[in-house]
Amino acid sequence: MTLAIFDLDNTLLAGDSDYLWGSFLVQRGFVDPVEYEAANTRFFEDYKAGNLDIDAFLNFALSPLSQHPMAELLALRQAFLDDLIQPILLPAAHQLIHAHRAQGHTLMIITATNAFITAPIAELYGIDHLIATTPEIVEDQYTGRYVGEPCFREGKVKRLQVWLNDHQESLENSWFYSDSHNDRPLLDLVQNPVAVDADQALKRHAETKGWPVISLRLNQAPAGILRAINEPSHLPS
């Protein structure tokens, strides 16, 4: 099995679904507009700077889920998908995913953003396997807490290793696409790391390592990467 792994936010999406969800809650009046927006922005800046307190962030981000019944949350999420996610799906990302699928690769999204937000986005891209931070549910109600390992930085590696062990698979010939220096632990581990619309820290690291640096913000997926998927010996730098 060849595993093709994709980060989600700012990789397959032209934006960050976690941050956008927070902004959406503000717009819809589900949270305090001043305090929540300020905290949402502060955590997002911490993430980009590489010093995010993941536990503090998840306690903040998951708290609104505990304050509303499931049916209301599902309706709100659908409006979020329609209004803010559909416009930032990337045609080039669809092409990239299709190229891996055509080669029989196993497709996976691995993301720090919680599964309540990301599971339907994975479905929009037709990707069956999702590893995401898991919100706790008790009696069909979110508690505002998470269970297990947060799927962030080294946590992505740990969560993926559990999946590999459960499926008796390995990272041989594996691919991982990401925009963020926070994903270096996993990028350093796979056989074919690809920096996608990378932040400056990841771009520098990728160039030092000789990894491909590509963009999915254009109408077409880069020809060099599509060729490399079909002919692995021709992976571009």
Q: Write the pLDDT tens digit of every residue in 51-66.
A: 999 999 999 999 999 9
Query: Which two three-digit tokens encode residue 180?
Result: 């963020």
The single-letter code of the amino acid at 176 is: F
DSSP 231: S
Q: Write the pLDDT tens digit of every residue in 181-230.
A: 999 999 999 999 999 999 999 999 999 999 999 999 998 999 999 999 99
pTM of the model: 0.95
Pair 112, 210 in one domain? yes
On the CB side of 86, CA atoms within 13 Å amount to 7
What is the mean pLDDT of the segment spanning 18-29?
Answer: 95
Q: Which of 9, 18, 183, 199 is catalytic?
A: 9
CATH number at 46 reads 1.20.1440.100
Number of domains in the chain: 2
Strand order in the sheet with 213-214: 142-147, 129-137, 106-114, 3-6, 175-178, 192-196, 213-214
| Contact in structure between 196 and 179 (CB atoms under 8 Å) | yes
Pair 94, 169 in one domain? yes
Kindly give the residue spans of alpha helices, DSSP state H, lying in the chain. Answer: 17-27, 33-49, 54-62, 70-80, 91-102, 115-124, 154-167, 184-187, 200-209, 223-230
Pair 172, 142 in one domain? yes
For residue 232, pLDDT over 80 is answered with no
Query: Which two three-digit tokens encode residue 20?
Result: 């956008």
| Contact in structure between 133 and 114 (CB atoms under 8 Å) | yes
The whole-angstrom separation of Cα 237 and Cα 7 is: 20
9 is catalytic: yes
Pairing assessment for the beta strands 142-147 and 175-178 based on DSSP bridges: unpaired
Q: Write the pLDDT tens digit of every residue in 71-112.
A: 999 999 999 999 999 999 999 999 999 999 999 999 999 999
* pLDDT range class, residue 235, cuts 50, 70, 90: low
68 three-class SS: coil
Pair 188, 74 in one domain? no
214 three-class SS: strand
Pair 78, 99 in one domain? no
Give the domain-ending residue among 55, 87, 119. Answer: 87
Query: Which two three-digit tokens encode residue 60?
Result: 């903040």
Q: Write the pLDDT tens digit of every residue in 24-48.
A: 999 999 999 999 999 999 999 999 9
What is the extent of the structural domain holding 110? 3-13+90-234
Pair 98, 203 in one domain? yes
Q: Which of 7, 18, 179, 199 is catalytic?
A: 7
Pair 195, 218 in one domain? yes
Q: What is the pLDDT of residue 236?
A: 52
The whole-angstrom separation of Cα 183 and Cα 158 is: 12
Q: Write the pLDDT tens digit of every residue in 123-136.
A: 999 999 999 999 99
On the CB side of 153, CA atoms within 13 Å amount to 10
Q: Rg of the chain over CA atoms, in angstroms?
A: 18
CATH number at 128 reads 3.40.50.1000
Number of helices and strands (H, E) in the chain? 10, 7
